[in-house]
């Protein structure tokens, strides 16, 4: 008889502060109703999202004159400081109206705006509610608290499997009566822990996490963020961590772990511009070329406007046009709509979400993603206004002036808000709704009783 028990483990936000994965070159501090007699299966929300009622981007010509003049002044101001005009790109649109365009279709180094493409590709591939599964099994049997055999981990590409999740799994193994494993810890599939790509290192981290007697200081610190009555797991693995080419066919499942939904994973990734999460998600989609291809298709722009070498944005060879960035934001909005979600569920809402944008002087309620490398500064997203509604923009700057570019970007947004008016609250189309989602990271016991 198959028994299933559920244990929900919500990871605390404080964990994010120590696991950012941001390198010195990265950002620092995703039909009509049928008649009753003609009922058909409902269309997949992802397929529906691929059928836009109108193009996501607007025609290149005839931008709104006053805004275009402001952008020309902005570019001229950078030029007077010695930064060539062709090293900058801007695209601004609201609804069907192009407000400004300076090299808007020219691919430029995107830095962490690349994560917008990764977010879109993940949503278009998996959907907002998809959860990655890690399965813990054995090839042995349990006798008097001892698992006679190996503990087998079948990785499922979860990019946010960390100390807290491993602790929860260890406690479930204890509930199953397992306190000791005579065999080895076998790692199969793509198993990541604490953003570590190397499966051997991930396996050794898990081996430590399952036994509180050998916890490193980092595990002790994260344990303190859990509820006070959380047990400390004690699963002693006598053998070593090994990497067999594949899992055995005669495994008995013990514990199944579900990641956070994709939409929540993307929010965690984007708030702190976590490079390793971005690389893991891009790999799950099929790699950088697939991310670029899917993003261009979904955004409705030529493939030449999105060229990527990875999913994080590390490296100036990742190039995206400002128009494509705006198109990707709008495509993400479209993919999220069937699940009653918004871009506010995926990207940082200034003034509401903690993250890498905390130190910047950006308009509250804007929904943004930034990108920074040594000589690249980029900023894009949604700017809610009173007169224009939601304004979608992307500005990308190249040159040895990171701090100056950021200041100029912030001043430009404030200037635009002075002209169009600051809203008192987030518009409905940007208001996040993921808190109403019942799905979260969780683990469950799956064992066969005698």
Picking from 394, 350, 397, the residue whose alpha carbon sits closest to that of residue 377 is 397
Residues 346 and 376 occupy one common structural domain: yes
Residues 323 and 405 occupy one common structural domain: yes
Give 252-300 pLDDT, tens digit per residue.
999 999 999 999 999 999 999 999 999 999 999 999 999 999 999 999 9
Of 259, 291, 311, the residue at which a domain comes to its end is: 259
Picking from 118, 107, 108, 110, the residue whose alpha carbon sits closest to that of residue 304 is 107
Q: Does 93 map to a domain?
A: yes
Residues 405 and 416 occupy one common structural domain: yes
CATH of the domain at 246: 3.50.80.20
User: DSSP letter string over 64-113?
Assistant: -HHHHHHHHHHHHHHHTTT--GGGEEEEEEETTEEEEEESTTS-EE-GGG
Picking from 435, 432, 131, 127, the residue whose alpha carbon sits closest to that of residue 260 is 131
Do the beta carbons of residue 226 and residue 12 sit within 8 Å? yes
Residues 397 and 326 occupy one common structural domain: yes
The residue behind tokens 């002693």 is 236
Q: Which residues does residue 154 pair with via DSSP β-bridges, in sequence order?
A: 135, 188
Residues 328 and 376 occupy one common structural domain: yes
Q: Does 429 map to a domain?
A: yes
Task: Look at the chain and report how many structural domains it folds into.
Answer: 2
Supply the pLDDT for residue 28: 36
Rounded Cα–Cα distance for residues 359 and 157 (Å) = 32
Long-range contacts of the stretch 209-214 (C-beta < 8 A, 24+): 209/163, 209/166, 209/167, 209/170, 209/233, 210/166, 210/169, 210/170, 210/173, 210/235, 210/237, 211/170, 211/235, 211/236, 211/237, 212/170
Q: What are the tokens at 77?
A: 């101001």
Residues 415 and 299 occupy one common structural domain: yes
Q: Could you tell me the residue range of the domain that residue 307 belongs to?
A: 58-129+263-436
Q: Does 217 map to a domain?
A: yes
Answering whether pTM is above 0.85, one says yes
Helix (H, G, I), strand (E, B) or coil at 158: coil
Supply the pLDDT for residue 448: 52
Residues 295 and 334 occupy one common structural domain: yes
DSSP state, residue 234: B
Of 259, 276, 309, the residue at which a domain comes to its end is: 259
Rounded Cα–Cα distance for residues 2 and 252 (Å) = 11
The residue behind tokens 């899917």 is 294
Residues 174 and 216 occupy one common structural domain: yes
Of 204, 235, 259, the residue at which a domain comes to its end is: 259
Rounded Cα–Cα distance for residues 210 and 358 (Å) = 35
Q: Does 385 map to a domain?
A: yes
Q: Does 423 map to a domain?
A: yes
Residues 278 and 424 occupy one common structural domain: yes
Do the beta carbons of residue 147 and residue 181 sit within 8 Å? yes
Q: Does 390 map to a domain?
A: yes
CATH of the domain at 104: 3.40.710.10
Alpha helices in 307-443 (DSSP H): 322-336, 402-420
Residues 143 and 120 occupy one common structural domain: no
Rounded Cα–Cα distance for residues 277 and 21 (Å) = 8
Q: Does 377 map to a domain?
A: yes
Do the beta carbons of residue 375 and residue 400 sit within 8 Å? yes
Residues 328 and 394 occupy one common structural domain: yes
Supply the pLDDT for residue 247: 78
Residues of the chain with pLDDT under 70: 1-57, 434-438, 447-450
Do the beta carbons of residue 229 and residue 252 sit within 8 Å? no
Q: Does 77 map to a domain?
A: yes
Residues 68 and 86 occupy one common structural domain: yes
């Amino acid at each position: 008889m198959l028994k299933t028990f559920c244990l929900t483990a919500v990871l605390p936000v404080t964990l994010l502060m120590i696991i950012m994965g941001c390198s010195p070159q990265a950002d620092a501090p995703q039909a009509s109703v049928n008649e009753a007699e003609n009922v058909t299966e409902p269309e997949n929300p992802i397929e529906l999202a691929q059928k836009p009622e109108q193009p996501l981007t607007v025609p290149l010509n005839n931008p709104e004159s006053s805004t275009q003049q402001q952008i020309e002044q902005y570019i001229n101001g950078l030029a007077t400081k010695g930064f060539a005009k062709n090293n900058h790109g801007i695209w601004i649109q609201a609804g069907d109206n192009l407000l400004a365009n300076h090299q808007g279709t020219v691919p430029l180094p995107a830095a962490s705006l690349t994560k917008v493409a990764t977010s879109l590709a993940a949503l278009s591939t998996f959907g907002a509610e998809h959860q990655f599964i890690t399965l813990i099994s054995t090839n042995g049997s349990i006798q008097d608290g001892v698992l006679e055999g190996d503990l087998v981990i079948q990785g499922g590409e979860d990019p946010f499997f960390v100390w807290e999740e491993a602790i929860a799994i260890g406690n479930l193994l204890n509930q199953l009566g397992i306190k000791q494993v005579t065999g080895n810890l076998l790692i199969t599939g793509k198993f990541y822990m604490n953003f570590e790509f190397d499966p051997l290192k991930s396996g050794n981290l898990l081996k430590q996490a399952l036994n509180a007697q050998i916890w490193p200081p980092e595990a002790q610190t994260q344990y303190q963020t859990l509820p006070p009555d959380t047990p400390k797991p004690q699963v002693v693995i006598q053998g070593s961590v090994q990497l067999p080419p594949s899992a055995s066919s005669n495994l008995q499942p013990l514990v199944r772990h579900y990641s956070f939904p994709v939409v929540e994973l993307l929010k965690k990734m984007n708030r702190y511009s976590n490079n390793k999460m971005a690389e893991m998600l891009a790999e799950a989609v099929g790699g950088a070329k697939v991310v670029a291809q899917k993003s261009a298709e979904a955004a409705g722009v030529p493939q030449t406007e999105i060229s990527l070498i990875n999913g994080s944005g590390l490296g100036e060879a990742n190039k995206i046009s400002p128009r494509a960035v705006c198109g990707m934001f709008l495509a993400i909005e479209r993919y999220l709509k069937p699940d009653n979600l918004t871009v506010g569920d995926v990207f940082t809402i200034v003034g509401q979400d903690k993250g890498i944008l905390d130190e910047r002087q950006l308009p509250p309620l804007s929904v943004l993603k930034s990108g920074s490398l040594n000589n690249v500064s980029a900023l894009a997203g949604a700017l809610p206004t009173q007169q224009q509604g939601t304004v979608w923009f992307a500005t990308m700057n190249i040159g040895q002036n990171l701090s100056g570019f950021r200041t100029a970007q912030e001043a430009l947004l404030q200037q635009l808000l002075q002209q169009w008016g600051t809203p008192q609250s987030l518009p409905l189309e940007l208001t996040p709704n993921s808190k109403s989602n019942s799905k979260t990271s969780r683990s469950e016991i799956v064992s066969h009783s005698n």
